[in-house]
Amino acid sequence: MILARYGNWLLWALLMAGLIGFFGWGGRPQMVGLFIASGLAVGSLYALAGIGIVVLYRATGVLNFAGGAAGAAGAMTAWQLTAWGFWEPLGWLACLLVATAITLFYGRLIAPRLAWRETVVKAVATLGFALIILGAISFLWADDPRSISLPTDAIGVRLLGMRITATRLLLFAASIGIVLGIWLFLARTTIGLQMRALANDRDLAALMGIPILRVETIAWGIAGLLAGFTGLMFADLIRLEPSVITFMVIPGIAAAICGRLENLAVVLIGGLSMGVIENMLTMSPVLRGVRPIAPFVIAALVLLYYQRGQRLTFGGRD
């Protein structure tokens, strides 16, 4: 009984311990610890991107490829404002605002026109929007090495003999806090209840008089805020380059797949595990070169694992 219930978690824990042990074998413990810590930070980025995708997908049925592009636009705005000498927090706020505004624009003006199309076509349409944003920001900001640094980069925290920047800790804490917050929001508020109703059955929810437009707008807003925050953190921790931030959605989708596009906690854990495994591959001389492949392989394996023992499934809607 217990095995059936917690078997998946047990398997996950064993696999993670095995992989970390395998790749970290022979390395200094502190080194392994550092790789895990920075893996958790990268994984938080994947998880946050995935959470934005899942919240929006459940509430509106749109798989949003444009989240990364919105985040990139926000991060570039933040950089520009800082370069012009504005107060830094103003730049961060602008990042969130720009990303939210862009996402809301799509959600209110373009997405409703596609409401009756297949899910895949809706997803492809958001790709068109991502291209528009990416083209516009690459046109506005010519290709130059740029960087954003948050004040938390300079603060180091000593943890078990390792020095970890406060940004990484902040990001890790934020990803857990955001999942908890969204979970509470969905479980306790009226809007959250309505969102769950929409996710369950859109047509029935509409018949029951749920204000679809309002609920969807809020979902787009949440997705936009998350995109802005992820974009800013990505720019700080990894790279401030529009095309790289734009296509961060693909590993984000990999994280979302781990949670079957519905379970936020599993998306979080999936994203974190992907980040850690990806970073642990750095310690392997053979696999070092292909380490960015980790999220895709993990997502594919997880999907196969979910499908085990099933025959062709019919019925239901995609």
According to DSSP, residue 115 is labeled T
What is the enclosing helix (H) or strand (E) of 163?
Answer: strand 162-165
Q: Which stretch binds another protein (CB under 8 A): 128-136, 170-178, 233-241, 265-273?
A: 128-136
Nearer to another protein, 151 or 292 (CB): 292
* Subset of 65-104 contacting another protein (CB under 8 A): 65
Distance separating alpha carbons of residues 225 and 95, to the nearest angstrom: 9
Distance separating alpha carbons of residues 152 and 236, to the nearest angstrom: 10
- 132 forms part of the interface with another protein (CB under 8 A): yes
Closest by alpha carbon to 94, among 237, 249, 231?
231
Q: Which stretch binds another protein (CB under 8 A): 3-11, 22-30, 119-127, 188-196?
A: 119-127
45, 248 Cβ separation under 8 angstroms: yes
Residue 63 beta carbon to another protein: minimum distance, rounded to whole angstroms: 7
298, 273 Cβ separation under 8 angstroms: yes
Q: In the set 8, 11, 118, 154, which binds another protein (CB under 8 A)?
A: 118
- Number of residues lying near another protein (CB under 8 A): 51
Nearer to another protein, 188 or 311 (CB): 311
Closest by alpha carbon to 171, among 251, 265, 248, 234?
234
- 36 forms part of the interface with another protein (CB under 8 A): no
Nearer to another protein, 33 or 202 (CB): 202
Nearer to another protein, 144 or 161 (CB): 144
130, 227 Cβ separation under 8 angstroms: no
Distance separating alpha carbons of residues 204 and 285, to the nearest angstrom: 55
> Which residue is it, tokens 């694992």?
305
249, 67 Cβ separation under 8 angstroms: yes
Q: What angle do CA 170, 171, 174 make, to 5 degrees?
A: 85
Q: Which residues of 230-243 are buried (b: 16+ CB within 10 A; e: fewer)?
A: bbbbbbbbebbbbe
Nearer to another protein, 29 or 292 (CB): 292
What phi, psi does 307 have (nearest 5°)?
-85, 0
Residue 118 beta carbon to another protein: minimum distance, rounded to whole angstroms: 8
- 105 forms part of the interface with another protein (CB under 8 A): no
Taking residues 189 to 228 in sequence order and writing x for each that binds another protein by CB under 8 A, - otherwise, the string is ----------------------------------------
Residue 278 beta carbon to another protein: minimum distance, rounded to whole angstroms: 11
Residue 248 beta carbon to another protein: minimum distance, rounded to whole angstroms: 11
Nearer to another protein, 4 or 312 (CB): 312
Distance separating alpha carbons of residues 147 and 133, to the nearest angstrom: 20
- 254 forms part of the interface with another protein (CB under 8 A): yes
Site residues (vs another protein, CB under 8 A) = 63, 65, 110, 113-114, 117-121, 123-125, 127-136, 138-139, 247, 250-251, 253-254, 257, 261, 289-290, 292-293, 295-297, 299-300, 303-304, 307, 310-315, 318
